[in-house]
Structure 1
Amino acid sequence: MYLIIGAVVVIASMVGGFTMVGGNLLSLWHVNEIIVICGCALGAYVIATPVKVMKSAMQSMIALLKGPKYRRADYVDLLKLIYEMLVKMRRDGTMSIEDHIENPDKSPIFQKYPKVSGDHHMLTFITDCLRLMVGGNMNPHELESLLEYELETHHQEALEPSHSVQKVADALPGFGIVAAVLGIILTMSIVGSAPPAEIGAKVASALVGTFLGIFIAYGFVGPIASAMESRAHEEGKAFEVVKMALVASLRGYAPSVAIEFARKLLFSDVRPSFQDLEADLKAAKG
């Protein structure tokens, strides 16, 4: 929603400012300039970007039109899920969760939280971490180091789409100059044989290329890349929460304390209060 609002504001500001001084909007509409700039940018993007990243970038841009992947209630469910698994491990032994992590689609604990169990990457991360705790015989430092490497890889992969789009934003002003130079070449070819009015119109048309390249880059593509990067950081927070809770548990802290460690990692806008989370955990335990 905010993506659409921002785009409308950008267009309205440009159109309003230009028309206020008597500008003719039709003078900015040159299909040939758009083809040169956008076509070259798209071609360069295809050359430089792996297919996997292009698909992820498209999915990330579509996701910007939706709400955040994890809201406050979803984080509460995630913490409750981890809490229930830790309580079961402490009460019945670590091997008691083996069936749950091997068959999460049949686990009554996982199925209580469909948002978490429906996230393939999150479900895999949780079950892999718990599997290491059950059969890995790892100390807290080893597990924490391993999970940090895994999260680093995950974050790097999650940021690749936004970085690829940002490179397009960086290149667009250059392609705008290319379109402008092509227009100047055309203009110079008729100098001496065309009236000054026609030459002036062609120079103005050439300058539109520079304008379009800069406008598209800084008004749309660059902000979209920044929004994709911010969304990737937000979604990565859920994995850090899981890591913190499991490492704290392996260090010997009680499940409720381990979950409190994890709660502290959440951003303020999605972090549940201590009292609210404690009530939810008691309900889950009951």
Structure 2
Amino acid sequence: MIGLVGIVIIFVMVFGGYLLAGGHMDIILKTLPFEMIMIGGAAVGAFVISNDTSAIKHTLKDVGKVFKGPRWRPDDYQDLLCLLFELIRLAQTNPVEIDEHIEGPEESAIFGRYPKIKSDGEAVALICDTLRSAGLAYDDPHQVEEVLEKRMEASQHHAMHSTHALQAVADGLPALGIVAAVLGVIKTMGSIDQPPEILGKMIGGALVGTFLGVFLAYGLVGPFAAKLKTVVEEDAHFYQLIREVLIANLHKHPPKLCIEVGRQNTPSHNRPSYNALEEALKSLRQEAA
């Protein structure tokens, strides 16, 4: 919703200010469709050239995040801490029984209590793979931490591709606007024998191309890329939390301490309070009793 508000503000301020200054929309409206075909079409073509099919689909899907915002909310962070608490407690008290949950998370009763987390393949894989490594000879916390770091860097790089793709389009739009404007000037020069009032309108129409390229770059596509980057970085904290808690578990800390490590590393605006989390964990312990 806040994204739509921002778009409305941009259009109202730009075109409202233009009209208040005595400008007329007739030249812009008459020229806009043709300029949009040239500039928008060229931008889309350049985007298609510089990305493969998978990246194009990924970017188009990610544009919705500009309006939806981060996927993970404060309640999800608390649910994640509760899920990890259950798994770590079971892994430390009954290492054999934990196997059925990490080898078949889709059928696990523990994962089933947290459907939103269960539906995220990356989160589930990260949890299960790390817990599985704890049961193997591959249990050096520092070694596992390094592997997790590289894995998360790769995932983050992939997630950020949409941001880079949109920013590349934004960077190219002003130049494409100049291309459209030059074509408008060429058209005007072909009618140099026309009266000044006609030439003035033609030159004004040509300048719409420059305006449109800059407006789209810095008023829409650039902010879209910046917002998408913020959302991707925000969601990355969720997976970082998994890493912190499971590394603490590999250091053989008690389950409650592992969860407190995760809570302290949760961003402040998503961090559950100590008392709220303690109540949730208390309920889990009572259910298990």
Alignment coverage as a number of residue pairs: 284
Q: Distance in 2 between matches of 1:26 and 1:136?
A: 74
Q: Distance in 2 between matches of 1:38 and 1:272?
A: 45
Q: Distance in 1 between matches of 2:40 and 2:137?
A: 52
- 2:200 partner letter: G
Instruction: Quote how far apart the aligned CAs of 1:7 are.
Output: 0.4
Once the two structures are superposed, residues 24-51 of structure 1 have per-residue CA deviations (whole angstroms, 9 ceiling, x without a partner) of: 1222122111111000000000000122
Q: Which moved more, 1:76-85 or 1:182-191?
A: 182-191
1:283 maps to what in 2? 283
Q: Distance in 1 between matches of 2:123 and 2:53?
A: 23
Q: Taking every aligned residue pair, what percent have the same amino acid on both sides?
A: 37
1:61 maps to what in 2? 63
- Are residues 1:140 and 2:141 paired? yes
Q: Distance in 2 between matches of 1:157 and 1:15?
A: 37
1:78 maps to what in 2? 80
- Are residues 1:89 and 2:108 paired? no
1:228 maps to what in 2? 228
Write out aligned runs for 1:237-276 (5 A): 237-276=237-276
1:212 maps to what in 2? 212
1:12 maps to what in 2? 12
Q: Which moved more, 1:170-179 or 1:125-134?
A: 125-134
List gaps (5 residues or longer) in structure 1.
none
Once the two structures are superposed, residues 194-214 of structure 1 have per-residue CA deviations (whole angstroms, 9 ceiling, x without a partner) of: 111111111111111000000
On the 8 A contact 2:70/2:232 being kept in 1, the answer is: no
SS in 2 for 1:65: helix
Instruction: Quote how far apart the aligned CAs of 1:66 are.
Output: 2.3
On the 8 A contact 2:141/2:250 being kept in 1, the answer is: yes
Instruction: Quote how far apart the aligned CAs of 1:15 are.
Output: 1.5
Instruction: Quote how far apart the aligned CAs of 1:143 are.
Output: 0.5
Q: Which moved more, 1:47-56 or 1:211-220?
A: 47-56
Q: Which moved more, 1:37-46 or 1:114-123?
A: 114-123
- 1:71 partner letter: R
- Are residues 1:23 and 2:23 paired? yes
Instruction: Quote how far apart the aligned CAs of 1:242 are.
Output: 0.4
Q: Distance in 1 between matches of 2:138 and 2:49?
A: 46
On the 8 A contact 2:90/2:98 being kept in 1, the answer is: yes
Q: Distance in 1 between matches of 2:133 and 2:61?
A: 31
Q: Which moved more, 1:274-283 or 1:208-217?
A: 274-283
1:37 maps to what in 2? 39
On the 8 A contact 1:172/1:213 being kept in 2, the answer is: yes
SS in 2 for 1:135: coil
1:109 maps to what in 2? 110
- 1:250 partner letter: L
SS in 1 for 2:162: helix
On the 8 A contact 2:27/2:201 being kept in 1, the answer is: no
Instruction: Quote how far apart the aligned CAs of 1:95 are.
Output: 2.8
- 1:63 partner letter: K
- 1:179 partner letter: A
Instruction: Quote how far apart the aligned CAs of 1:136 are.
Output: 4.6
1:150 maps to what in 2? 151
Q: Distance in 1 between matches of 2:109 and 2:136?
A: 22
Instruction: Quote how far apart the aligned CAs of 1:135 are.
Output: 2.5
Instruction: Quote how far apart the aligned CAs of 1:68 are.
Output: 2.8
Q: Which moved more, 1:216-225 or 1:135-144?
A: 135-144
On the 8 A contact 1:95/1:134 being kept in 2, the answer is: no
* TM-score normalized by the length of structure 2: 0.95
On the 8 A contact 2:188/2:203 being kept in 1, the answer is: yes
On the 8 A contact 1:37/1:213 being kept in 2, the answer is: yes
On the 8 A contact 2:79/2:114 being kept in 1, the answer is: yes
* TM-score normalized by the length of structure 1: 0.96
Q: Distance in 1 between matches of 2:73 and 2:137?
A: 32
2:166 maps to what in 1? 165
Q: Distance in 1 between matches of 2:165 and 2:253?
A: 42
Instruction: Quote how far apart the aligned CAs of 1:149 are.
Output: 0.3
